[in-house]
Amino acid sequence: MVDLKEQISKLPEFSGIYFYKDGNNKVIYVGKAKNLKKRVTSYFTHDPSPDIKLKNLLSNIKHIEYIAVNSELEALLLEAELIKIHRPKYNSILKDDKHYLYIEITKEEFPRIVFSRKRNTTNTFFGPYPSASAARKIVGYLRRVFPFCTQKVSNRACFYSHIGLCSPCPSEIMKLKNRQEYLVKRKIYRQNIHNLNLTLEGKLNKVKLKLQQDMQGSVKNEKYEEAAVVRDLLHKLEYISTRFHTPDIYLEGKSSIFDIRLREVKNLKDILSTFYTHINLPKIIECYDISNISGKFTAASLVTFIDAAPAKSLYKRFKIRLKKTPDDAGAIKEVIERRLNHPEWKLPDLLIVDGGKPQVSAMKSILDKKSIDIPLIGLAKRDEEIVIPHANNFRILKLPPHSPALTLIQRLRDEAHRFAHKYHELLRLKYLLAPNLTN
């Protein structure tokens, strides 16, 4: 037990998965926790005598391992995957699959998301999940992004259609008399289901890329309302993606979130060292984004990651004073100059700007003006290309979709985009609520 106490003392106060092993190094229990140290400690500080199962479990624990993760959603998905792999003896329902819960996507004209104890149809199944609450939490997270229906089509719209969690509602779609409108609404609903399916498969980046292409296509065809709907969907998805790694990433050598973040930072340094020979391991990274609508209510964000994790206390937001609109490059110049006017703010190891050559060039001009030498890159939205200023020109890098470095850059960009958009919305709301507003 002394050895176990030492192992517990080394556990981080971080969310994650813990698993207990017996004397044969076999996993006998898998659990999840918001705070690994507190949760595991609680097993050994309460009297287990009233609970025979717990007493037997504790007597068989010889070793404790853990995988720290980034969010509750990751913990839920990873816990289910590990239970499926190890079939631990002391987990609540032991080895009988029929007692586990699956997320089921039906094969109907308007697919529904339901929960099932058995895989006995040709429908699509995800799981099994160790508890009903785990499966329902996962679906709850994703439903905010991809609304869907759980009810069969009827004469009335379901309750969830009134709170935005079933949109468009199949029961409402079926009432449409106009064939073209019916087909458009059906396509939107089925696309929601398809995107939810891909997300559960761990293909979040594929979903984001398709949505970005859809938004660009709508803008090109001057379908601005459609583009706005997709834009809002992307904002919700970006919020999830900044907190999300798929279970397979963690299961590679049982990596914890700390291992994954270190791998991302090292990979980024290795890639950029070709262009910046003096670059340090980018422990502190700042990322910038501009948000506006036709140059109005222009807002800028500065988000900081330390060791590949958000450092929210260091986030900054800027109301752009520049009057010429729209001018993203001018806004970038303004915000980086205002940031550099604060010597008390520690300089980062790397600067990232959301944008291509114009944005990178704008930021570099201010760095050169102030004789500040910090590695700088941009992430161009269209093809997720890395833009690097090099020898009075630019080098363009196209990294593999699952590159650790690209994953980190995208996570920073998405968080900067979310934070800038949130401030832009606030500025617009303040304007609309202003007491002297006459129009």
**Distance from C-alpha of 163 to C-alpha of 160, rounded to nearest angstrom:** 5
Average the pLDDT over 47-64 and give the result: 82
**Structural domain range at position 37:** 2-93
The answer on 337 and 421 residing in a single domain is: yes
Residue of higher predicted confidence among 52 and 59: 59
Q: Do 199 and 187 form a contact (C-beta atoms < 8 A)? A: no
The answer on 108 and 59 residing in a single domain is: no
Q: Is the dihedral of CA 390, 379, 291, 316 positive or negative?
A: negative
Q: Is residue 397 part of a domain?
A: yes
- Flag whether pLDDT at 96 surpasses 70: no
Q: Residue 316 — very low, low, confident or very high, per pLDDT cuts 50/70/90?
A: very high
- Flag whether pLDDT at 331 surpasses 50: yes
How many domains would you assign to the chain?
3
The answer on 393 and 332 residing in a single domain is: yes
Q: Residue 135 — very low, low, confident or very high, per pLDDT cuts 50/70/90?
A: confident
Per-residue pLDDT tens over the stretch 111-128: 999 998 888 778 999 877
**Distance from C-alpha of 149 to C-alpha of 369, rounded to nearest angstrom:** 56
* Residue with token string 């109005």: 296
Q: Is residue 226 part of a domain?
A: no
The answer on 171 and 33 residing in a single domain is: no
The answer on 261 and 342 residing in a single domain is: yes
Mean pLDDT of the chain: 84
- Residue 73 is part of a domain; what is its CATH number? 3.40.1440.10
The answer on 341 and 297 residing in a single domain is: yes
Nearest to 81 by CA among 192, 196, 202: 202
Residues contacting 413, CB < 8 A, separation 6+: 287, 289, 352, 354, 379
- Residue 426 is part of a domain; what is its CATH number? 3.30.420.340
Per-residue pLDDT tens over the stretch 372-402: 999 999 998 767 899 999 888 999 999 887 7
Q: Is residue 246 part of a domain?
A: no
The answer on 146 and 74 residing in a single domain is: no
Q: Is residue 288 part of a domain?
A: yes
The answer on 290 and 176 residing in a single domain is: no
Quick one: pLDDT at residue 186? 92
The answer on 172 and 132 residing in a single domain is: yes
* Percent of all residues in the chain with a pLDDT value above 70, rounded to a whole number: 89
Q: Minimum mean pLDDT among 22-26, 250-254, 258-262: which range? A: 250-254
Residue of higher predicted confidence among 285 and 159: 285
Quick one: pLDDT at residue 248? 66
The answer on 265 and 360 residing in a single domain is: yes
- Flag whether pLDDT at 97 surpasses 50: no
Q: Is residue 25 part of a domain?
A: yes
Quick one: pLDDT at residue 436? 56
Q: Is residue 424 part of a domain?
A: yes
In this structure, the number of other CB atoms found within 10 A of the CB of residue 370 comes to: 12
